[in-house]
Amino acid sequence: MNEIQQEETINFSFYFQAILKHWRLITFMLFLGLLGAVITNSLMRPRYKATVLMMIDKENSGRIEQMSFGSWASDEDYYRTQYKLLESKTLLEKVYKDLNLSEIPEFAKGWKSLKRSLSVSPITRSRLVEVSITSYDNYVAARIADYLAKSFAAQNIKNRLSMASEVITALESTEKSPEQQELLNSLPQIVNSDFIKGLKSQELAKSSELSRLLGKYTDQHPEVISIRKQLEAIQKIIDRETKRLLQSIKIDLSGQFSANNIRIIDEAVVPEFPYRPHKLVNIAIGLAAGLILGLVFSFLAEFLNQTVKTAKEIEEDLKLPLLGFIPHEKQRKGYEDYRIMLKENKALTAENVRNVRTMLSFSLNAGKIKSLLITSSFQGEGKSFLSSSLAAAFAQVDKKVLLIDGDLRRGRLHRIFKVSNEKGLSSLWTEGQTFEGIKKDIQKTDVKNLFILTSGPRPANSSELLSTSTLKEFIDSLTNSYDLILVDCPASLPIADTFLWGQIINKAVFVIKQGKTALKSAKFALERMKQASIKVIGCVVNDCHHSGTLYGEYGYYKSYYNEK
């Protein structure tokens, strides 16, 4: 459980550090997202949405018994069917044609353009449904929505009572066709009437009796005439009763035409404000997209970042002891970084340099080391800053320190200490020059016990000069005069000057800049130093950010040392 919690903490720390490190990138992506949303809002043409509220009741069978005009397996099936009918091609083509929508540019491509602007939205747990139309013109949207709803309601009556309509047409016809008459005679109300059934039975009996009498008598026989009159009377009663029932059926069916199960509750209102674009929503989406992209790019940059970032990488991958770290501070400017060691007020950078001095003293005392190289993988990783600051730190504990600018190509220490560079180490190879003459070129600094030998004029063949035995003899002659000699060497890559210095002084401190020094480059430089028989006694990490894993836990001390 503890391992899981530790892993989660490490992961969280990684993401938190990535956010702090790349906050400018995240802020920039947020700005781009906001800018994109603003541009989108300005370019999008406003669309208006008009909505009609309709109520759809479940269809019933009507008031005519045994005449069903619809049968549905469930309410869900019925309502889904109604929603699909609202989007049907037949209905939309009718609306499209009746309203002459082909003359409106946005609907000029046909009824399908009308379908794309239509939305049917049932209201949950109710029989209500919202039918909406979107358009660039608010009046057009309202007009189409209203007409579509009314057309659907009218179509529903026609579809639901199509059989009843045929019955009414037959009833209203003065001259009925055989098919219409057969339809009327087959209606359940006529066929199932007990009164008509009785009259039909009497009619049948009288017809049988009339047939029997005609077999015995002529048409003028009194009994034949009597039976025929009775038969005619029964038929008149049947016709009268049939007409009465048909009239009743007509009234019932006519009533069903007005009793539509689809009603318009609220007609469309001409919208005052556009439905789209949703400006606030677009801005929120733009900011969210910018934030997500910023975080993704930040995390991706960290995953792809192959630089040295943690103490674990130094100790396990580079296999170097960590002597200390120098925090990142904004007040470090120009070439006067070492002067922070001279200030009386508390400063975290100065204290960390002193911590490096303490750790380094253990190695120096144990190995009786009096000369040390300061180097790094590439230029710009802070070795000159560490050299000057560390030299000042040792001088403050009453050690006589000589700081040599060993970079004959691009010497910088004379700028840091603001001293002359007319003469220096390169003068050692001037014809007729003696060691004593060079020692006179060693200059005092504004730090007590700290002396500096600058690089001197730039020679044309620095590598050849460093390869001579003259330099070793000169350094040996200085050993007894100083408690510690620090050499600010050039970067180990890509030139070989540091390895030439290693033939004279074989102990070195390796400087790494957090988040800049590539792990592979540091490994390669250390491997070359090992091949040159240079022993790296430790590593100092420069420019550490307080959010880093190297000293994030020292936040309390940071605030303490920043107190005035």
pLDDT of residue 11: 58
Give the span between the Cα atoms of 173 and 171, in whole angstroms.
6
Q: Mark whether 239 and 351 lie in a shared domain.
A: no
Give the span between the Cα atoms of 530 and 492, in whole angstroms.
12
Split into its structural domains, the chain has a count of: 2
Percent of the chain's residues with pLDDT above 90: 39
Tell me: pLDDT of 390 over 60: yes
Q: Mark whether 214 and 338 lie in a shared domain.
A: no
3 within a domain of the structure (yes/no): no
Percent of the chain's residues with pLDDT above 70: 82
Backbone angles phi, psi at 84, to 5 degrees: -70, -35
Please compute the mean of the pLDDT values over residues 73-78 and round it to a whole number: 72
Give me the domain span that covers residue 459: 321-361+370-518+539-561
Q: Mark whether 229 and 376 lie in a shared domain.
A: no
488 within a domain of the structure (yes/no): yes
Give the span between the Cα atoms of 273 and 293, in whole angstroms.
32
Nearest CA-CA partner of 47 in 114, 117, 147: 117
Range of weakest confidence among 81-95, 144-158, 322-336, 391-405: 322-336
Instruction: Report which of residues 177 and 481 the model is more confident about.
Output: 481
pLDDT of residue 327: 83
pLDDT in tens, 294-333: 999 988 887 777 777 777 778 788 888 889 888 877 655 5
pLDDT in tens, 217-229: 888 888 888 888 8
CB-neighbour burial class of residue 561 (10 A; exposed 0-12, middle 13-18, buried 19+): middle
Range of weakest confidence among 174-178, 420-424, 555-559: 555-559
Instruction: Report which of residues 260 and 299 the model is more confident about.
Output: 299
pLDDT of residue 155: 84
Please compute the mean of the pLDDT values over residues 54-63 and round it to a whole number: 68
pLDDT of residue 448: 92
297 within a domain of the structure (yes/no): no
pLDDT of residue 256: 54
How would residue 239 be classed by pLDDT, with cut points 50, 70 and 90?
confident
Q: Mark whether 401 and 494 lie in a shared domain.
A: yes
CATH of the domain at 509: 3.40.50.300
pLDDT in tens, 148-170: 999 998 888 776 656 556 666 66
429 within a domain of the structure (yes/no): yes
306 within a domain of the structure (yes/no): no
240 within a domain of the structure (yes/no): yes
499 within a domain of the structure (yes/no): yes
